[in-house]
Structure 1
Amino acid sequence: MKEGSTVQKRIIVGYDGSSWSDDALTWALEEAEHTGEPVELVHADEWPVLAPAASMVPSPDLSPELYVERIIESTLDRAVETARTTHPLVPLTTTTVRAHAATALIDRSRHARLLVLGGRGHSAVAGLFGSVSAAVTAHAHCPVVVIRGAQSATGPVVAGVDDTAAAPAVLVFAAEQATMLKAPLHVIHAWPPVTGIWAETPMATWTITAQEREPFDTEVTVIRDTFPNLRIEAEAVVEHPAAALTRASDGAQLLVVGSRGRGAVRGLLLGSVSQHLLRHSACPVAVVHDSLAMS
């Protein structure tokens, strides 16, 4: 973390009352029990956004705005009651923000160590699969964990890295998670195979040279030195990264990857591999930004 940083050590959960957000809350509470950090439930009240269209729909006895507020309050109260029963020692607060779900969560992530989302949700303005998750993972100011699939109780933490600036941050985050979970760390660097007209030429060796592998080996060595008690397996393969990491996610506790988004259209540049994993991983996925490599 940069000196003078104002980031608070908290875990934020995007919560909308769906079963997916319940899973996200459970994961965050387990994380908080290990770290001692407080958890904040953030609910995006999108009614002000939808109000113009909703004005054409017959309203209940209460004013629409008050009706929505009471539903949100009831939803959060139930979540807090359950959390305090299952994890009584974890400090838990709730926040309601009047904004699009993605906008609200991205803004709150400025004050978080970690943000946790369900793989799907009930956002009224985010009907397409994964649209909120994709936007938040691309724009968030902290690592984002998207809960999907099944989390193994005994499997490894898997880190998928490449030769970009995000790799060091991905490895540190994954190593910290593996240490906390007392799990081994499985690091994978996948080089896409040669395809098309070059597939039948001498260029398609299906091997990785020592020179190609050297930066990867150096990064793994740094992690081994930093976490000497952590069991680490490093694997370099010739396979499409999306396929290799999807396969490795089966039986893993967590899959950690990087995001290379940039600039005003960053949400469109999360990366095809990360986007694929957010839809097809067999376990929860953590997305760590390259900007965190310098923090």
Structure 2
Amino acid sequence: MHTASSPSARSEVTENAPRRVVVGSDGSHWGQNALVWAAEHAWRTGAELDVWLWNRTGDTPDDIPDNGGMNHVTSTFPLLSVSIHGAGTDPVHDLKAAARGAGLLVIGYRGHSASSSGLDGAVLPLINEIVCDTVVVRGRPASVHGANLRITALISGGEDDTNVLSRAAAIALEHRSRLRVVHALPAPATRDALAADHQFVLDHAARRLEKLDRRPSHTVVLLHGQPHEAVSRCTDSDLVVVGAGDHLARTGHCGSVTRSALHHAPCPVLVVHGPSSSPQQPEAHPHVPSTRAATGRHDISAPADRPARASV
């Protein structure tokens, strides 16, 4: 016998459903990497994938397929729910509109050339103006393909830290990865200042992680150096997570740490704009067709109920 679900039950299911993953691609190397990254993330989280493909331009090489690499996505993730759209003459405008209400936007860090018709002219305008979390795919092949199984969250002691930690923990669980939380601290005038800042920022991060119902295996690290140095050291990470920063709210432009990550990180970058849109207890898809390279390295990280502390 069929029993109709109550309105409250249907509302709860709707509220807990993963929000759309939007991806823009011009068919370039980085555009196709962004497409595959977004497809795997949508598959892992059970979200719908909303694909926006750039129209071919004079900069588009002849060997780029008209469908922007969708054949690979549909063959690798055959059960993934996908909507495909053609971007118009202003792809940035189209992606801004598509990202409204989305859970995540994914783009490559550059396109076929340095012209604004590729993704090059889209990254910073999108980061500065949209309100959903954004992944910019860049970096080393091993990181792009998720071979390291490590997510790094960069915290500052500011208001962004809560959202950065929550989102980083969720995505680490979704991608079955370890979490490393890094606080970069320039050399202070006195050692007392160093100790006070170390204690406050790292203890705050540890308490936030302890409050999560489920949390990945994680470590908390103090890095002696500038934030951009912390970004450049993420060579063993698959994703670095940063906040959009209060600088964005004041000026309409992301801060220097976020810009440094977008331009120089050796791995994809997640810019967190607000509270995490992912559930605290994400369930990995039971059958993930891995596009990730296998790694034979085993890493000793802290147990989930006791974050380790380190200083470098």
| Class of the TM-score when normalised by the shorter of the 2 chains | 0.7 to 0.9
| 1:10 is the counterpart of 2:20 | yes
Matches within 5 A, 1:249-268: 249-260=234-245, 261-262=247-248, 265-266=251-252
The verdict on how the C-alpha distance between 1:20 and 1:83 changes in structure 2, with shifts beyond 3 A counting, is same
CA positional deviation for 1:125: 5.4
* Pick aligned residue for 1:140 from 116, 119, 130: 130
| 1:283 is the counterpart of 2:255 | no
Per the alignment, in what secondary structure is the counterpart of residue 157 of structure 2? coil
Q: CA–CA distance in 2 between the matches of 1:142 and 1:136?
A: 10
Query: Per-residue displacement from partner, 1:92-142 (whole Å, max 9, x unpaired)?
Result: 111224352322222211131111111111488527984421221222221
Task: Provide the alpha-carbon RMSD of the alignment.
Answer: 3.2
Matches within 5 A, 1:144-293: 144-150=134-140, 151=143, 152-194=146-188, 203-205=189-191, 208-210=194-196, 213-247=199-233, 249-260=234-245, 261-262=247-248, 265-266=251-252, 269-289=253-273, 291-292=274-275
Gaps of 5+ in 2: 1-11, 279-312
Q: CA–CA distance in 1 between the matches of 2:151 and 2:201?
A: 21
Per the alignment, in what secondary structure is the counterpart of residue 90 of structure 1? coil
Per the alignment, in what secondary structure is the counterpart of residue 168 of structure 1? helix
Paired AA for residue 34 in structure 1: R
Q: CA–CA distance in 1 between the matches of 2:70 and 2:218?
A: 38
Identify the residue that residue 310 of structure 2 maps to in structure 1: none
Seq. identity, %: 27
Task: Give the conservation status (yes or no) of the 8 Å contact 2:105–2:133.
Answer: yes
The alignment covers a number of residue pairs equal to 256
Paired AA for residue 181 in structure 2: V
Identify the residue that residue 61 of structure 1 maps to in structure 2: none
Paired AA for residue 90 in structure 1: L
Identify the residue that residue 303 of structure 2 maps to in structure 1: none
Query: Which structure's CA Rg is the greater one?
Result: 1
Q: CA–CA distance in 2 between the matches of 1:17 and 1:235?
A: 38
Query: Per-residue displacement from partner, 1:257-292 (whole Å, max 9, x unpaired)?
Result: 1112435851xx211111111121111111111x43
| 1:30 is the counterpart of 2:40 | yes
User: Please, what TM-score do these two structures have when normalized by structure 2?
Assistant: 0.72
Task: Give the conservation status (yes or no) of the 8 Å contact 1:113–1:142.
Answer: yes
Per the alignment, in what secondary structure is the counterpart of residue 240 of structure 2? strand
Identify the residue that residue 307 of structure 2 maps to in structure 1: none
Relative to its length, the structure with more helix (as a share) is 1
Paired AA for residue 29 in structure 2: S
Paired AA for residue 244 in structure 2: S
Gaps of 5+ in 1: 48-53, 55-67, 195-202
Q: CA–CA distance in 1 between the matches of 2:271 and 2:135?
A: 6
The verdict on how the C-alpha distance between 1:41 and 1:137 changes in structure 2, with shifts beyond 3 A counting, is same
Paired AA for residue 173 in structure 1: R
Matches within 5 A, 1:34-183: 34-44=44-54, 75-76=66-67, 79-122=69-112, 126=116, 130-150=120-140, 151=143, 152-183=146-177
